[in-house]
Homo-oligomer: A and B are copies of this chain.
Amino acid sequence: MTDSSRLRVGVIGYGYWGPNVVRNFYNGPGTTVGSVCDLSAGALERVQRNYPSIGVTQNPDDLITDPDIDVIAIVTPISGHFPLAKRALENGKHVFVEKPFTGSSSDAERLIELAERKRLQIMVDHTFLFTGAVRKIDELIHNDELGRLYYYDSTRINLGMFQHDANVVWDLATHDLAIIDHLLPGEPEAIVATGEGHVNGVEDMAFVTIYFADNVIAHLNVNWLSPVKIRMTLIGGERRMLVWDDLQADEKVKVYDKGIDTSRASDLRVNYRAGDMWAPRIEPVEALQLETQYFADCITNGKPAVNDGYAGLRVVRMLEAIDASISQKGRMVYCRPAMSASASRE
């Protein structure tokens, strides 16, 4: 592939996650990085030391209006997502934006409309969808290995990075919401969430229940005040159940041939099945590498991404519903159906 055929990406934000985004777009076969923008001179110095061929600037407009740039990647705090994405789309750039997509669903809707009008693509960086573990779980579910789904139950806790413009839900639960949006059939019907803030007013722990059709239920436990780090998700199905422990180096996903025997549930006697456990090999790939090249592929071939603006919008709507429920101490909030068709599974 000649250089001219690669998509040129301008990256805004070179803080914690930005270097990974730059590295992957820089090394990808279908992409390269044209310039990087950050307000911090120190950050730009690090860019120059590591990538002497990449231009640097403190002014995002330099990238957004650069005719040699095809894609703007926005790796800033949430408050920057909407204005930067809007200007990028207006200037004819495709947009890769950190999760969560925007600070409000109306902002997300405006960006989706703008992108469609300009025939541009939006990808929201729901990185977890591209991990070996989630791709394996997706495969198991869609091969019906688990049978009818019962529940998704995630614990995502650690001593956390308190943030200025987000509570623990927008920080941690976003991951699970993107995964749930991707894995579970149907859309959420209603949300009940509780939480508490102990330090500076924003919630540092929250507990979220999401009701789906057919008695499927999801639950999230997110916490910035845990002394230990846990990343564990259980997914229960009628046929099999699995445990995904993302902190394990190996054996991240364990599938249990175990459950209840519902064949004779009518007589109120429930029987148990115990069988083997099986840990499928998980492909050791870097999720962000897969994702950035998938974006190049989506743009080049004009096909929508599974993690497009609609996916981003659906996640933001769930975040808003969670905030609304927490502020009313667990009042059930109904979820609006998503705006329109999208690449997500139904």
Q: Is the CB of A249 within 8 A of B229?
A: yes
Docked-complex contact B330 and A225, CB < 8 angstroms = no
A180 CB, nearest partner CB in chain B, Å: 15
Assess the A227–B198 pair: CB atoms within 8 A: no
Residues of B within 8 A of A236 (CB): 225-227
> Residue of B at shortest CB range from A211?
B329
How far is A258 from B251 in the complex, measured between Cα atoms in Å? 13
**A51 to nearest B CB, angstroms?**
8
Which residue on B lies nearest to A267, using beta carbons?
A: B200
The verdict on A280 contacting chain B, using a C-beta distance below 8 Å, is: yes
A161 to B262 alpha-carbon distance, docked (Å): 14
Return chain B residues, CB-CB under 8 Å to A278.
Answer: 276-279
Bound complex: CA of A192 vs CA of B155, how far in Å? 19
Residue of B nearest to A269 (CB): B162
Q: Is A194 engaged at the interface, CB distance under 8 Å to the other chain?
A: yes
Q: How many copies of this chain are found per oligomer? A: 4
Q: Which of B226, B260, B276, B330 contacts A281 (CB 8 A)?
A: B276
Given the complex, which residues of B lie within 8 Å of A241, measured CB to CB?
225-227
Which residues of chain A (295-322) have a CB below 8 Å from chain B? Answer: none
* Contact between A281 and B275, CB atoms less than 8 A apart: yes
- Size of A's binding interface in residues, CB under 8 A: 65
Q: Is the CB of A225 within 8 A of B280?
A: no
Residues of B within 8 Å of A258, CB to CB, are 159, 227
- Among B199, B228, B238, the residue within 8 A (CB) of A260 is B199
Residues of chain B lying within 8 A (CB to CB) of residue A167: none
A162 contacts B270, C-beta separation under 8 Å: yes
A173 CB to closest chain B CB, in angstroms? 14
The answer to whether A279 and B281 touch (CB under 8 A), given A209-B330, A227-B241, is no
Contact with B along A144-169 (1 / 0, CB 8 A): 00000011010101010010100000
The 6 closest A-B pairs by CB, nearest first: A192-B330, A227-B256, A227-B241, A162-B270, A194-B209, A277-B279
> Could you jot down 10 A-B contacts, CB within 8 Å?
A151-B225, A194-B217, A194-B219, A199-B262, A207-B209, A227-B234, A227-B236, A227-B259, A330-B332, A331-B332
